[in-house]
Structure 1
C-alpha cells in the first residue's frame, strides 16, 4: 500500500536514519517500561526497617518512569514510526531482567542501581546516530533520561553505604 501525502515526513532526517533512531528509542522505551514495572513491584513488596523510605522513594521513581515512557513513545511517533506497546514487544527489546520472587530491601536497591545504569547505557548507545543525524529533539530526550537515571542510581547507591 502506497503512503499518502499526509504520511510523508520531511523533517530533515532520512527515513532510514529515522528508522534506526526509532529502533534505539524503542529499546529505551522497553528498558524504561521494564524498570517502571520492577520499581512498582518493589514499591508494593518492600519490607524491613527501610520500608517507609524505600516505599516512598520507589513511588517517586516509578511515577517519573511512567511519565518518561510517554515522552519516549511520543518521540518515536514524531519520527513517523510505531511505538512498541506490548509486554511481548518489551520483553524482546529490553536489556533488563525480570526478577523471580521478592528480594530483600537491600537486594532491591542493588538490582535497581544495576538497571538504572543499564538504561543509561541504552540511551548512550543511541547517541551516535542521533548526533550524526542532527536530531536535537532526540538528543535532548536522551540527555534528560541519562541525567535522571544517573542521579537515581547515585541516590540508590548512597543508601547502600
Structure 2
C-alpha cells in the first residue's frame, strides 16, 4: 500500500534511493568492524576486541533504523549482499596485518565517508525534497558517526 505522508512520490523515491545507498554503506562498515573484532591481534588485543564489539553493536542498530526508515517511506530496503556491494561507496579491504591501528584507520575513513554522505543530504532532504523527518533522522545518524569517528581517532593519538 502506498503511503500518503505529504511528500511527493518522486521525492520519496529520491530519498529512499539515498537511504538504500546509506544502508549498503552501513552494512559494509558493520561487516568490516566485525572483521576487526574477530581478527585483531597485538598486545592490545583484548581492549580492541571489546572496542570493536561496542562499535559493531551500534552499527547494527543504525542499520536497522535505516532499513525501517526506508520501510516507513513505503519502499523495500535492500537486503542482499549483491545489492549492498552494488550500492555502497565503500570498499572491502584486504590487509596483510591485523593490528589495531590498521583496522582503526580503515574504519575511521569509512565513518568519515558516511559523515560526508549524510552532511551533503541534510539540506537536500529538508529544503528541496520536503522530507524534514528524514533530514532530522540523518542528522542524528551523522552525529552518531561523528562520535564513533572521534572514538576511533582517539585511539590513534
Structure of higher CA gyration radius: 1
Write the mapping of 1:52-63 to structure 2, written as runs, cut at 5 A: 52-63=46-57
Q: Assess if the C-alpha contact under 8 Å between 2:41 and 2:98 holds in 1.
A: no
The correspondence for 2:115, drawn from 117, 120, 125, is 120
Q: CA deviation at 1:70?
A: 0.9
Structure 1, unmatched stretches of 5+, are: 1-6
User: Post-superposition, which runs of at least 4 consecutive aligned residues in structure 1 deviate over 4 A?
Assistant: none
Matches within 5 A, 1:77-88: 77-88=71-82
Equivalent residue for 2:99, pick from 97, 104, 109: 104
Cα RMSD, aligned residues only: 1.3
Partner residue in 2 for 1:142: 138
State the aligned residue count. Answer: 155
1:98 match: secondary structure: coil
TM-score (norm 1): 0.91
Q: Secondary structure at the match of 2:79?
A: coil
Query: Could you tell me how far apart the structure 1 residues matched to 2:19 and 2:2 are?
Result: 21
Shift of 1:58: 0.5
- What runs of 5+ residues in structure 2 fail to find an aligned partner? none
Contact 1:20–1:129 (8 Å) recurs in 2: no
